[in-house]
Amino acid sequence: MPSEPAPAVDGGVCVISGGVGAARFLNGLLGVVDARDVTAVVNVGDDCTVHGLEVSPDLDTITYTLAGAIDPGRGWGLVDETWRAIEQVRRYATSAGPGALGGSDASGWFSLGDRDLGTHLYRTSRRRSGAPLSQVTAEVTAAWGLELSILPVTDDPVRTVLTTADGRTLSFQEYFVREQHAVEIGSVRVDGAERARPAPGVLEAIGTAGALVVAPSNPVVSIDPVLAVPGVRDALLARRDRVVAVSPIVGGVALKGPADRLLRELGHEPSVVGVARWIAPLAATLVVDHADAALAEQVEAAGVRCLVTDTVMSRTGVGAALARTCLSAALGGPDPKATT
Amino acid sequence: MPSEPAPAVDGGVCVISGGVGAARFLNGLLGVVDARDVTAVVNVGDDCTVHGLEVSPDLDTITYTLAGAIDPGRGWGLVDETWRAIEQVRRYATSAGPGALGGSDASGWFSLGDRDLGTHLYRTSRRRSGAPLSQVTAEVTAAWGLELSILPVTDDPVRTVLTTADGRTLSFQEYFVREQHAVEIGSVRVDGAERARPAPGVLEAIGTAGALVVAPSNPVVSIDPVLAVPGVRDALLARRDRVVAVSPIVGGVALKGPADRLLRELGHEPSVVGVARWIAPLAATLVVDHADAALAEQVEAAGVRCLVTDTVMSRTGVGAALARTCLSAALGGPDPKATT
């Protein structure tokens, strides 16, 4: 709940989003501005087909988080979940022996709760009847009572594919869930990106937002796949002076997931400086944590203003304060140096 | 459990099967002969895709019944079931408003329990990875500890389509579940049948069985779709002297479902006499209930031996006794007239 009346932001706020980090940032943002003024443009490179069902992990993580329904322990899926369907699948798979299920369907490592399955069943049904992902997402979001716009960056299929240092090809879920990201990556590509078109509203939201935020999500496997959809990078570039990025790297490590390792493996410096060099073409400001205050000058040397504040959103109130800082910077607030 | 040592039947027993009636008959049969000697050749014309998942109602009804896991109250699905996934789907559908979900996905009328979903998720997964339905069925059957062979009549897609008297086209599930079969039918066809091939083992089972039984299933929408797969009718015809049919009509009505109405609507007499005329080309013997003893002569006038016994399997022991009667008749038992 907003602690004070939510200010209107002319043109609204547009957040380029991955999953968990973006969800937490958006949660803070909704404590600061009216939800109807917020648009999240969300990565779908992690989307996958599991047991024939269409699963959109980042869209669902954002939806469940903002609805207050995310499981706080796991950090994904729904709270108060049961696992009867997937337990039955495992019984069959165990009986049939190794190899019966492959890919994301090898349910030993990819789990789906019963209530969560309802989301995937609905999405799959609607998609098969011809509804684009963006429309289904709007329906799912509305059913949870959310008033912000959650937009998949594209309605077309794009898939993040990782190639390991030893030449194996992995889907994002194979890398992230099955391998627990404990494998060296040599390159990342986004299959289908070159043919994808931005979903309705995406370019408009980027083009007209009063403030734009690149959420503290994985640069390589969350934000880059959003930017890979033709038109999105250019649209953001045109609004660079209003774009504020929040570093997902704090003290040289990712708060969650493999962003630090991936940056290193792909030739970036796994620090706020590496993040700065990556995002400088697109963002006028990079927000880093106090833990990285000493690197502020190096960040600015990469060509981006550096703002130092609390960015670790595990404590109540940090997300909202971080959102205020971002909005202030995007809308032309006080000299960021003054806040360090 | 068999009440006495299960006799071996040379060549085994092959049962042409629909869903509920066949499942009850098979349950009785497994009390009489070794399960490894039994093959069920099962209708798949009712199969449907729900929320992207492949559902095989007759295969599952037989499997769950023989595993002792069918819900006794509903007569379909699993006992001790929960409904969390489908309740979530309904929340979305209610929020999105009428028309969001169509066909079998209109979950107001087509329900799937959480454990049951596990079966459909596994089947869909395996099918998408290239496994034919017959192989998946063998895996599912084995996981439930069943030792009989449950064979879909074909691995190819066949769909029973009903046209109403006023010209509307309905899938089987639309007719049976949504409309509660309270609509007049003008014709029935089996889409895909002419291109379908019998699944591995089907023609062999029919060709070599020591005894063949046409289960007390709906003639029009359960048995005819099995016979519609090219080769099956001819294979059965060649074994006519070993084929015993059990009438699904007792006292002029179907024990379950719309068999009586469908027979009438499609120009058959809704009685054991109508059943006799329908099955006489394929079966040497028709088993009817005591309730229809007075029609035995008319049955025989249709060109099929008439055997009268208890056929209503709601009481314990009736199924096993009925199975013994069928086996005895198929294998050349006492003169059926003597048992009336």
Nearest to A271 by CA among A281, A279, A263: A263
d(CA B237, CA B203): 12
Q: Closest chain B residue to A126 measured between Cα atoms? A: B101
Higher pLDDT, B2 or A157: A157
- Is pLDDT of A2 > 60? no
Rounded Cα distance between A232 and A46, Å, is 18
B51 and A96 within 8 Å at the Cβ level: the answer is no
CA dihedral A187, A188, A192, A197 (to 10 degrees): -130
C-beta of residue B101 within 8 angstroms of C-beta of residue A129:
yes
Task: State the pLDDT at residue B46.
Answer: 94
Contact B51 A122 (CB under 8 A): yes
Band (A177; pLDDT cuts 50, 70, 90): confident
Q: What pLDDT, in 10s, does the model give residues A190-223?
A: 999 999 999 999 999 999 999 999 999 999 999 9
State chain A's maximal CA–CA distance in angstroms: 64
What pLDDT is stored for residue A137 in this prediction?
98
Nearest to B179 by CA among B269, B106, B84, B77: B106
- pTM, entire model: 0.91
Digit-coded pLDDT (tens) for A113-149: 999 999 999 999 999 999 999 999 999 999 999 999 9
**C-alpha of A215 from chain center:** 7
Q: What is the pLDDT of residue A75?
A: 83
Picking from B19, B118, B111, B21, the residue whose alpha carbon sits closest to that of residue B61 is B19
Q: Inter-chain contact A92–B140, Cβ cutoff 8 Å?
A: yes
Is the pLDDT at B6 greater than 80, yes or no? no
ipTM: 0.91
Q: Under a CB-based contact definition with an 8 Å cutoff, are residues B143 and B177 in contact?
A: no
Between A92-101, A247-256, B53-62, B305-314, the lowest mean confidence (pLDDT) is in: A92-101
Flag whether residue A146 sits within 8 Å of chain B, measured between CB atoms.
Answer: no
Binary contact (A51, B122; C-beta < 8 A): yes
Cβ pair B129:A102 closer than 8 A: yes
CB pairs A-B closer than 8 Å: 139
Residue A135 with chain B: CB contacts under 8 Å = none
pLDDT at B264 over 90: yes
A78 and A71 Cβ atoms separated by less than 8 Å:
yes
Three-state SS letters, B225-242: HHHCCCCHHHHHHCCHHH
The total number of residues written for chain A in this structure:
340
Residues A96, A98, A103, A107, CA torsion sign:
positive
Residues of B in contact with A52 (CB under 8 A): 52-54, 121, 124-125, 128
Residues of A in contact with B108 (CB under 8 A): none
Percent of chain A with pLDDT over 90: 81
Contact B87/A at CB under 8 A: yes
Helices assigned H by DSSP within chain B: 20-29, 57-66, 84-96, 114-128, 133-143, 172-173, 202-208, 224-227, 232-237, 259-265, 272-279, 296-301, 318-330
Site of tokens 């007390």:
B216
How far is residue B114's CA from residue A272's CA, in Å, rounded to a whole number? 46
State how far Cα A272 lies from the chain centre: 18
Please name which of A169, A132, A161, A135 lies closest in space to residue A149, comparing C-alpha atoms: A135
* C-alpha distances out from residue B301 to A100, B272, B277, B331, Å: 53, 12, 9, 22
Question: Rounded to whole angstroms, how far apart are CA atoms A137 and A107?
Answer: 25
Convert the pLDDT of each residue in B266-302 to its tens digit.
Answer: 999 999 999 999 999 999 999 999 999 999 999 999 9
Pure H helices in chain A: 20-29, 57-66, 84-96, 114-128, 133-143, 172-173, 202-208, 224-227, 232-237, 259-265, 272-279, 296-301, 318-330
Residues 101-140 of B with CB under 8 A from A: 101-103, 105, 114-119, 121-122, 124-126, 128-129, 139-140
Q: Take residue B259 and report the two structure tokens written for it.
A: 């068999």
- Of A153, A141, A143, A154, the residue nearest A30 (C-alpha): A141
Is some CB atom of chain A closer than 8 A to the CB atom of B146?
A: no
Contacts of A84 in chain B (CB under 8 A): 82, 84, 114-115, 118
Q: What is the DSSP string of B180-248?
A: TT-S-EEEEEEETGGG--BPTTHHHHHHH-SEEEE-SS-IIIIIHHHHTSTTHHHHHHTTGGGEEEE-S
- Could you read off the pLDDT of A258-306 as tens digits, one per residue? 899 999 999 999 999 999 999 999 999 999 999 999 999 999 999 999 9
Asked whether A287 and A244 are in contact (CB, 8 A), the reply is yes
B121 contacts in chain A (CB < 8 Å): 51-53, 85-86, 88-89
Length of chain B: 340
Give the pLDDT band of residue A87 (cuts 50, 70, 90). Answer: very high
- Mean pLDDT along residues A307-329: 94
Nearest-CB residue to B105 (from A53, A105, A125):
A125
Q: Please indicate if any CB of chain A lies within 8 Å of the CB of B53.
A: yes
Question: Which residues face A170 on adjacent strands?
Answer: A162
Centre a 10 Å sphere on the Cβ of residue B294 and count the other Cβ atoms it contains: 10
Place A339 in a pLDDT band, splitting at 50, 70 and 90: very low
pLDDT tens sequence across A33-50: 999 999 999 999 999 998
From B104, B315, B135, select the one nearest A124 (Cα to Cα).
B104
Contacts of A182 (CB under 8 A, 6+ apart): none
B-contacting residues in A 13-52 (Cβ below 8 Å): 49, 51-52
Identify the residue among B125, B126, B139 best suited for mutation to test binding to A, counting A beta carbons within 10 A and taking the highest: B125
Contact A85 B114 (CB under 8 A): yes
- Looking at residue A166, its pLDDT comes to 94
Phi, psi of A244 (to 5 degrees): -120, 130
Q: Kindly state the tokens that stand for B206.
A: 């029919």
Average pLDDT, chain B: 92
Tokens 């060109």 belong to: B303
> DSSP letter at B41?
E
pLDDT digits (tens, 9 = 90+) for B171-206: 988 898 888 888 999 999 999 999 999 999 999 999
**Neighbouring-strand partners of residue A161:** A171, A189
Residue A211: name the closest of A329, A105, A318 by CA. A329
Q: Least CB-CB distance to A143: which of B92, B125, B142?
A: B92
- Does B92 lie at the interface with A, CB-CB under 8 angstroms? yes
Q: What CA–CA distance (Å, rounded) separates A321 from A337?
A: 17
The reply to whether A100 touches chain B by the CB within 8 Å rule is yes
Strand partners for A288: A308
The alpha carbon of residue A56 and the mean position of all alpha carbons in its chain are separated, in whole angstroms, by 11
Disruptive mutation site among A48, A49, A51 for chain B (greatest number of B CBs within 10 Å): A51
| DSSP code for A34 | -
What mean pLDDT is reported for chain A? 92
What is the rounded CA–CA span in Å between residue B62 and residue B25?
10
